């Protein structure tokens, strides 16, 4: 993979002493993995790297060494910035509301992203590198580092592997291409131990008995829509307050929703007392519509993993109804496409 933007990115990095690496307001395995990897990669080049995210890193990612180095404050003294796994102003609400997004625009900025459909793009970036053919931003960082001969040590490799596994749902969805597997093999050759990485993830994600019982409540409240093709559950403010510090309800239940027979799409709604509503969306292989649903609801993400946030103070049932209705339409369109393909093949 050769990127035309690579030399311009290298020039910005070479000219900088302090570089801020930013994640959006919805950090996940890919954004954290690519951020931590860049900290190692650029640190090996003698750069001072500051990691930034406006919100806390989710607890289920705390098995990755270095998560606690991600801070909430944008430094005033830096020479350049790299934005990973995001290319839209929409995902940087806190930076915009504080006015710090303007401060960011006064320095050379690089955007690294792999999302195919993005609105409200970050227009002040000096270099924007999109590669929608990669599974993840972490895979993109691997490709860029290879082209520029940036050294990836085993620690950086483990972070990148975590990001790839996160966006590909453990290499189980069709975001994982043949190139993705080649990158994974290269990371193994570098010394990344995937079984150990997986065991660390499982160990850190073990749940207490109280969380186990709470998971049972979420399962009991799970509802189906669209003739069983959509599974969803709602988490109210009281449960967000009580359980989120111990275990995020979204990763606690979402994989189980995906395992329900016949389910193609899952949504975990969070309903806040101030009127805010969020939705975490995941799709099963072959039904890559999570990004389209999130975009319709004012959010964004990947075809298989995305989310949205609404602060319009609309009634929750109205938001939920719109979300489920549009999701049903998206799935029906896919079913129609599959049906048309079968008819064409028959003739």
Q: What does pLDDT average to in each consecutive run of 10 residues of the chain (347 residues)?
A: 94 97 91 97 98 90 93 93 87 84 91 78 90 94 97 97 90 90 97 92 86 96 97 97 88 94 97 94 92 90 86 92 97 76 50
**Per-residue pLDDT at 339:** 61
**Per-residue pLDDT at 342:** 47
Check: CB of residue 34 under 8 Å from CB of residue 159.
yes
> Using CA atoms, how far apart are residues 52 and 36, in angstroms rounded to an integer?
11
Task: Using alpha carbons, select from 301, 213, 228 the residue that is nearest to residue 266.
Answer: 228
Cα dihedral 169, 173, 175, 181 sign: positive
Task: Confirm whether pTM is higher than 0.85.
Answer: no
Query: What are the backbone dihedrals phi and psi of residue 70, each rounded to the nearest 5 degrees, phi first?
Result: -80, 120
Task: Using alpha carbons, select from 292, 294, 316 the residue that is nearest to residue 307.
Answer: 294
**Per-residue pLDDT at 344:** 52
Report all structural domains of the chain as residue ranges with CATH numbers, in order of start. 6-202 (3.90.1640.10), 209-346 (3.10.310.30)
**Per-residue pLDDT at 20:** 97
**Per-residue pLDDT at 167:** 87
């Amino acid at each position: 993979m050769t990127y035309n933007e690579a030399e311009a990115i290298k020039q910005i990095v070479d000219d900088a002493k302090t570089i801020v690496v930013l994640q959006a307001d919805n950090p996940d395995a890919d954004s954290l993995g690519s951020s931590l990897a860049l900290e190692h990669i650029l640190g090996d080049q003698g750069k001072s790297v500051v990691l930034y995210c406006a919100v806390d890193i989710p607890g289920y990612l705390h098995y990755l060494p270095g998560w606690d180095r991600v801070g909430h404050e944008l430094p005033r003294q830096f020479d350049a910035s790299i934005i990973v796994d995001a290319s839209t102003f929409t995902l940087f609400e806190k930076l915009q509301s504080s006015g710090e997004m303007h401060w960011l625009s006064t320095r050379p900025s690089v955007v690294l992203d792999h999302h195919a459909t993005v609105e409200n793009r970050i227009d002040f970036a000096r270099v924007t590198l999109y590669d929608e053919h990669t599974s993840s931003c972490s895979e993109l960082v691997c490709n860029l580092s290879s082209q520029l001969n940036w050294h990836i040590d085993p620690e950086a490799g483990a972070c990148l592997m975590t990001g790839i596994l996160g966006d590909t749902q453990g290499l189980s969805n069709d975001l994982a291409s043949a190139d993705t597997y080649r990158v994974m093999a290269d990371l193994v050759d570098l010394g990344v131990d995937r079984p150990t990485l997986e065991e660390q993830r499982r160990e850190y994600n073990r749940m207490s008995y109280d969380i186990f019982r709470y998971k049972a409540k979420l399962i009991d409240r799970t509802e189906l829509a669209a003739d069983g093709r959509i599974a969803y559950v709602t988490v109210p403010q009281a449960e967000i307050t009580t359980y989120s510090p111990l275990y995020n309800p979204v990763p606690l239940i979402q994989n189980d929703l995906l395992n329900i027979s016949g389910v193609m799409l899952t949504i975990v709604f969070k309903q806040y007392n101030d009127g805010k509503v969020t939705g975490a969306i995941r799709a099963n292989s072959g039904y890559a519509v999570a990004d389209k649903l999130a975009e319709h609801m004012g959010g964004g993400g990947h075809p298989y993993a995305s989310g949205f946030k609404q602060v319009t103070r609309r009634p929750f049932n109205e938001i939920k109804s719109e979300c489920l209705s549009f999701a049903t339409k998206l799935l029906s369109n896919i079913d129609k496409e599959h049906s048309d393909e079968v008819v064409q093949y028959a003739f």
